[in-house]
Chain A
Amino acid sequence: MTATILASVVDNRLHAIAERMAEAMLRSCRSTAFQSRDFVTGIFSAEGEWIATKDFIPVLAGSLPSAYEGILAKFAGDVGEGDVFVLNDPYHGNNHPPDVTVLKPVFHRGVLRFWTVTKGHHADSGGSGGEAGYNPGARDCYEDALRIPPVRLYRRGERQDDVWDLILLNLRLREAVEGDLHCQIGAAAIGERELLAMLDAFGVEPVLEAVALQLAASARHMRSEIARWPDGVYEAVRHLDDGGEHHREPIAVRLRLTVAGERAVFDFTESDPQVVGYANSTRANTVASTLVALFGVTDPAQRRTGGALSAIDVLTRPGTIAHAVEPAATTLCTITACEAIVETVWRALARADPAITNAGWCRGYAFAAIGVDERTGRAFGATGALKGGSGATLGFDGWDAIGPPVAMGGGREVDVELHELAAPATILHQGFETDSAGAGRWRGGLGGVSRWRIDQDGVRVVCIGSGALTGTAPYGLAGGRAAPANRSVVHHRDGRVTVPRTNSTLVLGRGDVIEIHTSGGGGYGDPRERAREAVLADVRDGLVSAAAARDVYGLDPAEPGPEHDDRAKGEA
């Protein structure tokens, strides 16, 4: 077999192993976060090259290399067979505290050959956080979460009970976290088993040569994608709505993108200073978010590895929103900062050529509740609402309810029946909202409206996210229209109606109803050029109102009947 062919074979095998690890996690996990696929797996070479991944939630994957470096910075030269390392601290290379990194060396006949890695969003990360670790009131990294620096969970196969106990004692949902840590470590062990079998089958030297070829191919692939972009310098600015309870001003992410041949430099150094609050992005998260943006507009068939990462430079300045330094809090960064960063990349590319990229996606916007279920006496955590839509691209409508670019559609929402079984709430309504998508020749994907009724008293709810301002709502492109912003209201049992502030905590009781409207995606191209039958189908399906068909799409209003418009039926 020629080396090129073996490289293809090894490349496929490595990705199959990463997939097998992910499947094991999916089948053995505890928390609803893991269940909705909020985790990734990966494989590193002995030298620390990121060579394979399964990235259900890609923003977690792009920070695997820096987490690896953080752990090696402490343990290089002191790594043994059977060791397992763990890390969650954002100031040791991790992206944000709820995503716990587990790293396992793979020794073959006594020699370190690979590493397997898993990273997942845990149900509880301590600190004063609420559901899934989000605390809008956090002022610094100590209020944000329990900080786990690189530590050894297993030494030569022996569990380090003292370290293990120190972590678990600081958590409310410790059974779920303990189970999910086992699940991560188990998956890393499965990856190890499969890698050893591969080394035995093909031999060490041919495999190492294949890995080098595979990485080079990945780098070449990304470079060839970049080479298709027009050379130039392109700038873009996007904002976070705020930084949490202690910083109620929009925060700017500023990008200066330089494209020269097959190389791209993403310069975020002019972004706003870091803030007091949980929205700050670590450098790891900024790099990861840049990769998400990049993979979202380049060949979807390419491998997402360190090879691709090597094709770009990401410049950041310590002390900014895109490169927070200790003691900034960072928990929200995988959502709002990630989205603002992704948008700057896409906007900058749109200046080069809109056809490369897409209109704005929805931003994450959710209510997360935590408490003890009176029906069962068991702790629960719940995050719900129909997600928003994605931005349209040249030739294609956006995807309905796909959620923000953080996941690129890789997650899966928890079923409404499972939500109601697991948490004291009733989902009265959860569906698409008419005219929630940005209009365009290709329209954005639809957003939705959800109404959840709380069925017991004293439930602590955090409203997290962004995209609730006109300036942060999904933008249109090439003549396409923007989508409406995220918004919400609470219908209290006593008849009051209040508007919760984004990134705040509230306490709700039995009979209170939260109503959440999520953005659709932005539209692409002039709506008046949209195919007539596509507009008529949307009107017939109640996704576009007759008024919008007439006023925005310029269609004869007499043509379609609005009989199935949700608003006509009084549902929304």
Chain B
Amino acid sequence: MTYRIAIDVGGTFTDLALLGPDGVELDHKTGSTPHDPAEGVVAGLTALAGRAGLSLTDLLRRTGTIVHGTTVTTNALVTGTGARTGLLTTEGLRDVLLARQGHRAGQFDSRSSPAPPLVPRHLIETVRERVDSTGAVATPLDEQSVRSAARRLRGAGVESVAVSFAFSYLNDAHERRTAEILAAELPDVPLSLSSRVAPEVRLFERTSTTVLNAYVDPVLRDHLGRLARRLEALGHTGRVLIVQSNGGVVGLADAAGRAVHTLLSGPAGAPAAVADVVAELGVAEAMTIDMGGTSFEVSLSSGGVTGITTHAEPAGHPVSVPMLDIGTIGAGGGSVAWVSAGGLLRVGPASAGADPGPACYGRGGEAVTVTDADLLLGYLAGGFGDGIAASRDAAGRAVDDLARRLGIGRIEAAAGVHRAVNAEMADSLRLATARHGLDPRRLALVAAGGAGPVHAVELARDLEIPLVVVPPGASVLCARGMLRADLVRYYVHTLLGRGNGPGDAGIDVLEVGAAFAALEDRARADLSAGAAAATGIRLNRLADVRYVGQVHEVTVPFPEAPVVEVVDGPVVDGTVVDGLIERFHRLHDRLYGFAQPEVPVEVVNLRLEARVPTVGPSRLRGPAAAFPAGPAGVRRAWFDGAFLDVPVRNVGSVPVDERQEGPVLLAAPGTTVVVPPGYAFEVTGSGTTLVFGADRERAEVLAGLSGELAEAVR
């Protein structure tokens, strides 16, 4: 047996997790080093090795697999430090990307400017060519215009080139030939082709995705190259896997050409960790919140599987590739509270970030942040780490100013900020559950990040979620998840079946069967190589269904068991299709408030999700190793309109499986679980904290959440 390491490099912190041969997990959090991320990684690895009682070299020699998630691409995008990128597109359509579909996110804000484009207009070249809407060549590729464009781009010193032609998702011949010419003209410049990066209809989104890929490609290559060399020099001879936005992993070589797939690589780690946690508890559906300093991420899982979306807009740039459906809102510990000109309290979306940070950090921040409010209310028993000594006085002074403008007292204002940010988060969670057709009353809320467990119980109360789950290592949850990430692939087959009458899907069951068989063959071929400890390929079949004439589809799982172990080819018969259509009507009604069973439907795409575990089923191990004993005591914390003397306890010191009641503040590494009056909690054998209404029993709560899966929308 060997070690397995996960490394999650974020903008502020680098989180590491280690799975030992004995099945025990360790983790460590250290500062990120943006000038050279590998430096922080090595520092973290050294500390981790120390905790495992090994030298760094010994640890790396004995490590079979390193799983790496990184935000270097996201940071490059946010800070505008990606590659100097050129774009080749179809003649006449030069400005599709720059015109932004005529959209402005800050709708009424004329005193503002759009984000600078990733490709300036003088680096956008047009090429004479045209494929029509049937995929036929209407104008042959003018190879000379490709060459002259390539030379101009070379003269301009581009470091990366994107190619995106109209209708190339139907016919990629022109893009392929253009790539050959560019490879000859610009031999050392990486190319991104829209027909490979995002082969789907919509030129704007496809171009944006391809340009994003080109923009961050050299950054990722550079980072991975340095890291691999560094690890090798330190003695690592095993494999390195890179986490993709879809939550799965790929090898180093594959990752380099698919940079856009790492844009959500960091948060994509969490769902895998959550899957194990909820499996241990027997919970069917879960919502995960990860609340850090500046952002708040939310995802929903059903049966341990988190849904996929194909649309996101990191830093305002649309990207269309399959990604875990993880929503982000601008609410975190650093979110700034303010008073509108009308006299109402608002929180965010502005953030004090890491610098200057909340007022209580004493680094020059004057704005009231959520962290300042939480501190004054007495919730932050777990400390801040990172050498920060929070000042209650500084927080109080900042809150006083806000309170004066609201005409209320200091503590009322702090409680108001806490309440307002909770309400805003709850609103976004409510939207997320509605979008997925899930009922919050049947969910468990898994809380992660430094601020997540501080706010989770109040969010759960607001949404009527019956159970809050804080897993061990909640502040490094993504790294924990990366340890157990699967190999994942997504496949799509465009069907365009159209019904003629009510309830008619107009699809041929034989065609559907054959299509799934072909997709499954591809999945087996692609995934068999990487299945180290394969326990078989798990497959999930879905269909994109809509009423004839609609613009968007609802992705509906086929009504057999949602996840099947593949033995033979799939069986699809008429009753399965009927069941699919019935399910579509029901889901449509729940999502959009109406169904039209009297009109025909169309099945646009068949989808297949295939995943192979890279480690055997793991068990989270006891809390003793993970939670050093810490100080206990009593502190004053604000509950239900008054300060109470509330016990502070270390999570590691709480007897396993023993029911306790709040109010209490549970200190854990990097966070505090706030348990208000009226709530009970228990800590399980694996170190997971469960919080639920004091009027209920743990077994009863869990039983209520273990039912059949709802028809979640993917």
Q: Is the CB of B594 within 8 A of A186?
A: yes
Q: Is the CB of A29 within 8 A of B594?
A: no
Question: Which residues of A (269-309) have their CB < 8 Å from a CB of B?
Answer: 295-297, 299-303, 307
Q: Is B522 an interface residue (CB 8 A)?
A: no
Q: Is the CB of B549 within 8 A of A30?
A: yes
C-alpha spacing A55/B435, complex, angstroms: 20
C-alpha spacing A88/B95, complex, angstroms: 37
- Report which B residues bind A (CB closer than 8 A): 91-96, 98-104, 106-114, 120-122, 126, 132-133, 138, 152, 166-167, 201-205, 340-346, 406-408, 412, 415-416, 419-420, 423-424, 427-428, 430-431, 434-435, 462, 547-552, 588, 591-594, 596, 599
Chain B residues near A410: list those with CB within 8 A: 103-104, 107
Given contacts A16-B428, A224-B341, 6 further A-B contacts (CB under 8 A): A1-B416, A25-B592, A30-B551, A35-B551, A301-B340, A430-B95
Instruction: Pick the contact of B132: A185, A194, A216, A420 (CB < 8 A).
Output: A420
Chain A residues near B593: list those with CB within 8 A: 24, 185-190, 193
Instruction: Pick the contact of A189: B423, B434, B594 (CB < 8 A).
Output: B594
Q: Is A214 an interface residue (CB 8 A)?
A: yes
> Which 8 pairs of residues, A with B, have the shortest CB-CB distance?
A409-B104, A186-B593, A221-B342, A217-B342, A186-B594, A429-B92, A189-B593, A431-B95
C-alpha spacing A402/B205, complex, angstroms: 18
Q: Is A432 an interface residue (CB 8 A)?
A: yes
A191, closest chain B residue (CB)? B593
Q: Is A476 an interface residue (CB 8 A)?
A: no
In the complex, how many angstroms separate the beta carbon of B407 from the nearest chain A beta carbon?
A: 8
Question: What are 28 residue pairs bridging A and B, where the CB atoms are less than 8 Å apart in the complex?
Answer: A1-B416, A4-B408, A16-B427, A27-B592, A30-B550, A32-B551, A179-B596, A179-B599, A182-B594, A219-B342, A221-B341, A224-B342, A225-B341, A358-B110, A393-B111, A401-B100, A402-B103, A408-B108, A410-B104, A411-B102, A415-B201, A415-B205, A418-B201, A430-B95, A432-B95, A537-B120, A542-B121, A571-B94
**With A386-B99, A564-B122 as given contacts, are A427 and B93 in contact (CB-CB < 8 Å)?**
yes
C-alpha spacing A219/B428, complex, angstroms: 26
Q: A401-420 CB contact bits vs B (8 Å, 1 = yes)?
A: 11100011111110111101
Chain B residues near A407: list those with CB within 8 A: 102
Chain B residues near A302: list those with CB within 8 A: 340-342
**With A179-B596, A296-B108 as given contacts, are A430 and B96 in contact (CB-CB < 8 Å)?**
yes
Chain A residues near B102: list those with CB within 8 A: 387, 401-403, 407, 409, 411-413
Chain A residues near B462: list those with CB within 8 A: 201
Chain A residues near B427: list those with CB within 8 A: 12-13, 16
**Most interface-central of B92, B107, B344 (chain A CB within 10 A):** B344
Q: Is the CB of B203 within 8 A of A415?
A: yes
Chain B residues near A297: list those with CB within 8 A: 110
Q: Is the CB of A217 within 8 A of B99?
A: no
In the complex, how many angstroms separate the beta carbon of A530 from the nearest chain B beta carbon?
A: 15
Instruction: Pick the contact of B110: A30, A35, A296 (CB < 8 A).
Output: A296
Q: A310-348 CB contact bits vs B (8 Å, 1 = yes)?
A: 000000000000000000000000000000000000000
C-alpha spacing A393/B126, complex, angstroms: 32
Q: Is the CB of A8 within 8 A of B99?
A: no
Q: Is the CB of A409 within 8 A of B340?
A: no
Chain A residues near B99: list those with CB within 8 A: 386, 400-401, 413, 431-432, 448
**With A190-B593, A571-B92 as given contacts, are A220 and B341 in contact (CB-CB < 8 Å)?**
yes
Q: Is the CB of B114 within 8 A of A420?
A: no
Chain B residues near A390: list those with CB within 8 A: 110
Question: Which residues of A (19-78) have their CB < 8 Å from a CB of B?
Answer: 19-20, 23-30, 32, 34-35, 55, 58
**With A9-B420, A431-B93 as given contacts, are A23 and B341 in contact (CB-CB < 8 Å)?**
no
In the complex, how many angstroms separate the beta carbon of A56 from the nearest chain B beta carbon?
A: 8
Q: Is A541 an interface residue (CB 8 A)?
A: yes
Q: Is the CB of B431 within 8 A of A16?
A: yes
Q: Is A555 an interface residue (CB 8 A)?
A: no
Count of A-B residue pairs with CB < 8 Å: 254
Chain A residues near B420: list those with CB within 8 A: 5, 8-9, 12
Report, as a range, how many residues of chain A touch the other chain.
35 or more
C-alpha spacing A426/B102, complex, angstroms: 20
Instruction: Pick the contact of A396: B95, B110, B407 (CB < 8 A).
Output: B110
C-alpha spacing A220/B420, complex, angstroms: 21
**With A185-B594, A358-B110, A417-B133 as given contacts, are A412 and B424 in contact (CB-CB < 8 Å)?**
no
Q: Is A218 an interface residue (CB 8 A)?
A: yes
**With A9-B419, A428-B92, A564-B122 as given contacts, are A20 and B132 in contact (CB-CB < 8 Å)?**
no
**With A400-B98, A417-B203 as given contacts, are A9 and B423 in contact (CB-CB < 8 Å)?**
yes
Chain B residues near A237: list those with CB within 8 A: none
B155, closest chain A residue (CB)? A563
Chain B residues near A186: list those with CB within 8 A: 592-594
Q: Is the CB of A23 within 8 A of B203?
A: no
In the complex, how many angstroms separate the beta carbon of B207 from the nearest chain A beta carbon?
A: 10
In the complex, how many angstroms separate the beta carbon of A117 from the nearest chain B beta carbon?
A: 14
Q: Is A451 an interface residue (CB 8 A)?
A: yes
Q: Is A490 an interface residue (CB 8 A)?
A: no
Instruction: Pick the contact of B201: A412, A421, A429, A430 (CB < 8 A).
Output: A421
In the complex, how many angstroms separate the beta carbon of B296 from the nearest chain A beta carbon?
A: 15
Chain A residues near B205: list those with CB within 8 A: 415
In the complex, how many angstroms separate the beta carbon of A298 from the nearest chain B beta carbon?
A: 8
Chain A residues near B346: list those with CB within 8 A: 8, 301
Instruction: Pick the contact of A402: B104, B344, B423 (CB < 8 A).
Output: B104
**With A189-B593, A386-B99, A541-B121 as given contacts, are A218 and B342 in contact (CB-CB < 8 Å)?**
yes
Q: Is the CB of A571 within 8 A of B120?
A: no
Q: Is A268 an interface residue (CB 8 A)?
A: no
Chain A residues near B423: list those with CB within 8 A: 8-9, 12-13
Q: Is A543 an interface residue (CB 8 A)?
A: yes
C-alpha spacing A382/B72, complex, angstroms: 42
C-alpha spacing A235/B122, complex, angstroms: 43
Chain B residues near A19: list those with CB within 8 A: 431
Q: A173-195 CB contact bits vs B (8 Å, 1 = yes)?
A: 00110010011011111100110
Chain A residues near B204: list those with CB within 8 A: 415-416
A24, closest chain B residue (CB)? B592
Q: Is the CB of B591 within 8 A of A24?
A: yes
Chain A residues near B412: list those with CB within 8 A: 2, 5
In the complex, how many angstroms separate the beta carbon of B329 from the nearest chain A beta carbon?
A: 11
C-alpha spacing A259/B341, complex, angstroms: 19
Q: Is the CB of B416 within 8 A of A8?
A: yes
Q: Is the CB of A420 within 8 A of B549?
A: no
Q: Is the CB of A27 within 8 A of B552?
A: yes
Chain B residues near A176: list those with CB within 8 A: 549
Q: Is the CB of A28 within 8 A of B431?
A: no
Chain B residues near A400: list those with CB within 8 A: 98-100, 114
Question: Which residues of A (119-150) have their CB < 8 Å from a CB of B?
Answer: none
Q: Is the CB of A8 within 8 A of B345?
A: yes
Chain A residues near B108: list those with CB within 8 A: 58, 295-296, 300, 408
C-alpha spacing A541/B102, complex, angstroms: 19
A420, closest chain B residue (CB)? B133
Chain A residues near B551: list those with CB within 8 A: 29-30, 32, 34-35
Chain B residues near A542: list those with CB within 8 A: 121-122
In the complex, how many angstroms separate the beta carbon of A86 from the nearest chain B beta carbon?
A: 15
